Amino acid sequence: MSFLPVTKEDMEKRGWEQLDFLYISGDAYVDHPSFGHAIITRLLESEGYRVGIIPQPDWRSNDDFMTLGRPKYGVLISSGVIDSMVNHYTAAKKPRSEDQYSPGGRAGMRPDRAVIVYSNKARELFKDVPIIIGGIEASLRRFAHYDYWEDKVRRSILFDSKADILIYGMGEKPILEIAKLLKSGTPAGDIREVRGTAVIAGMDNLKDEVRKCIEEGNSKEQSSSSFRVLSSYEEVAKDKLLYAKAFKIQYDEQDSISGATLIQKHGDRFLVQNPPALPMTVKEMDRVYALPYERTYHPMYEELGGVPAIKEVEFSITSHRGCYGGCSFCALNFHQGRIIQSRSQASIINEAKKLTWQPGFKGYIHDIGGPTANFRSRACEKQVKHGACKERQCLYPAPCRHLKADHSEYLELLRKLREIEGIKKVFIRSGIRYDYLMLDKKDDFFVELCEHHVSGQLKVAPEHVVDRVLQKMGKPERKVYDRFVKKFYDINKRIKKEQYLVPYLISSHPGSDLQAAVELAEYLRDMGHTPEQVQDFYPTPGTLSTCMYYTGLDPRSMTKVYVPKSSKEKAMQRALLQYWKKENYELVYEALRLAGREDLIGFGKKCLIRPRSAAKMAAKRRAAKEDVRAYGKNLTTGKVLNKIK
């Protein structure tokens, strides 16, 4: 096989006069199953549809959009693997200088709010051709949602994009069903009840029981066995309590088995979210990952330096989807869901064997995993019939008694992969959920993880160490992480390996005040860990933490949450995680003073920084040494020292 058409010449070579579906992507064209545009287009191709891709079109003109002509059945639009606003801006709202999903890593290859811009352009050019939006940006903005960059509640992206249908989640099942209906001649406006989609409806399009509920004025959070009506966009945009309540309903109803249809009024029309698509079977997952991907970027990018994002995934294998970890700051609940969907061992082994024949493969598989590497199967047997529980998480605040903590199947898979000829090492980089690992009564997986699947450093995500912050994050108590750390180092000592843990930490998360940030800095001091990079909390669409950030309420309990919002406090919390850096001195000093922790300013072993006078003298001495190095023989040490007296 070859890459799908990106030019008219490509279409002519295939003997095509018209596409069935045109896919417009905010990412560069990378034909690899880690990219949504590759999966959806290859899946449609496998069903006999003629599909072409326009990657990163110039939105300021019409030319790129018209490259492949008017499609027969529909235009599919995605901003790419990442929300375009997250892709463009840091948590401090500063423009990013690079884009790993663009050729040569160049920034500025897609617009802000790419789904809206692309969709409006497609509507202008293709008039009545159905427009279907999907991917992470559309998926997480399907309801009225808080937008961090504008600091306000925006309406559903369906209204601003003028699209006909929004596919949320991973999208394979909905797109095949929609494609079949469009091919049969069904108008896009009549495709209203496909699972895993959201549409706009007028009052006349609503079912009788829903219309009756709304007409009687009982719209706020009313429900039946099949639907729930949320507070309207106008209401949640004005009232943070109503926003939090509406979010909680959305959060609870994202299960494919138990989830209800959700309705939210916008003006005189309604957003209707159908229940999530049913989980993919093992056979369906295997089919998706067996499609004929080229597994690299399109050759048209070669002269531009390729597409940097391929480096992380080129020799990695996705083993499953979904996550029941329940982290508050993660959007997976709204996108992939809590039900694990796995591939068969045979499918994964076949893909691994194919990797050994890939150009540039040197024997190292970079990852075998998913959102959480060691979640390879459903959390419990109850989920098969009843889905994920609405009123509790599998691991938070304490592990459910029905949770199956067993790594035996995953370990069996890893052992088989290690035996394949041409594979030297199989790494696990997609993250180990340490609290789940500690529940396993057997140590064989933990031992073999350290012995065979760690490259000197294992990345883990405690995120914080202060229990009141961890509670808001949906993470286990610190003592669980402490036990894991001890066991990790005990095992490595036993197998005679010198390996280290690299913890991911988040500053300024809702619930974290300056005192909590100082406690985290003390933990880093005691562990001797000096992270080069730290992550400031980023209020991205669709997460429980973002709801807390905007409303100041925990939607699980409707209790108030402390939220660090000022740029100054956020800078102080971030600086405390790198308290040893001289450029952070003033911020750390002020943070310690405001937190009432001047005891950490001094010369003792437990102190984070020195007093101001000593710090200034140390800074001058550092500058003097730099002068000596810079000027060498032309500036004697004595003269330099005289400068700082």
Residue 635 pLDDT > 60 = no
C-alpha 299/C-alpha 304 separation (Å) is 10
Strands 21-25 and 74-78: parallel
Q: What is the pLDDT of residues 604-620, one digit of tens each?
A: 999 999 998 766 666 66
**Res 237: pLDDT:** 98
| CA 551, 557, 559, 563 torsion-angle sign | negative
What pLDDT does residue 627 have?
A: 59
> Would you state the pLDDT for residue 531?
87
For the segment 578-606, what is each residue's pLDDT rounded down to a tens digit? 999 999 999 999 999 999 999 999 999 99
Mean pLDDT (the chain) is 93
Q: Could you give phi then psi for residue 264, rounded to 5 degrees?
A: -135, 120
**Tens-place pLDDT, residues 495-512:** 999 999 999 999 999 999
Q: Torsion angle of alpha carbons 477, 479, 484, 485, nearest 10°?
A: 120
Instruction: Give the model's pLDDT for residue 638.
Output: 45
Mean pLDDT on 60-81 = 97
Q: How confident is the model at residue 223 (pLDDT cuts 50, 70, 90)?
A: low
Cα–Cα nearest to 515, from 481, 564, 461: 564
Per-residue pLDDT, averaged over 71-77, amounts to 98
Query: Cβ atoms within 10 A of the Cβ of 9, count?
Result: 8
pLDDT at 513: 97
Classify domain 315-455 at the CATH class level: alpha beta
- pLDDT reported for residue 622: 67
Confidence bin at 226 (pLDDT 50/70/90): confident
pLDDT greater at residue 52 or residue 625:
52
Residue 634 has pLDDT above 80, yes or no: no
Topology of the domain covering 1-197: Rossmann fold (3.40.50)
pLDDT, position 208: 85
Evaluate if residue 641 carries a pLDDT over 50: no
Beta partners for residue 367, in sequence order: 316
Closest alpha carbon to 226 in 244, 208, 202, 243: 208
Residue 438 has pLDDT above 90, yes or no: yes
- Give mean pLDDT, residues 631-635: 49
Q: What is the pLDDT of residue 636?
A: 43
The reply to whether 456-610 shares the fold of 315-455 is yes
What percentage of the chain carries pLDDT values higher than 90?
85
Query: Helices (H) and strands (E) in the chain — how many of each?
Result: 26, 25
pLDDT for residue 311 is more than 60: yes
pLDDT of residue 294: 95
Confidence of residue 217 (pLDDT cuts 50, 70, 90): low
How many percent of the chain have pLDDT more than 70? 93
Query: Helix, strand, coil proportions of the chain in percent (round to 5)?
Result: 40, 15, 45
| Residue 220 pLDDT > 60 | no
Amino acid at 101: Y
- Give the C-alpha separation, 327 to 395, whole Å: 10
pLDDT (tens digit, 9 = 90+) per residue, 354-395? 999 999 999 999 999 899 999 999 999 999 889 999 888 999
- pLDDT over 90 at 222, yes or no: no
* Amino acid sitting at position 566: S
Q: Report domain extents, the chain.
A: 1-197, 203-267, 315-455, 456-610, 618-643
User: CB 464: neighbour CB atoms within 10 A?
Assistant: 27
In terms of residues, how long is the chain? 645
Non-local CB neighbours of 38 within 8 Å, separated by 6+ positions:
30, 31, 32, 293
Sign (positive or negative) of CA dihedral 154, 277, 275, 329: negative
Q: 363, 348 in Cβ contact below 8 A? A: no
Q: Which tens digit of pLDDT belongs to each residue from 254-279? A: 999 999 999 999 999 999 999 999 99
Q: Which of the pair, 152 or 209, is modelled with greater confidence?
A: 152
DSSP assignments along 295-331, one per residue: -EE-GGGGGGT--TTHHHHTTEEE-EE------TT--
pLDDT of the residue at 620 = 64
Q: What is the CATH number of domain 456-610?
A: 3.30.750.200
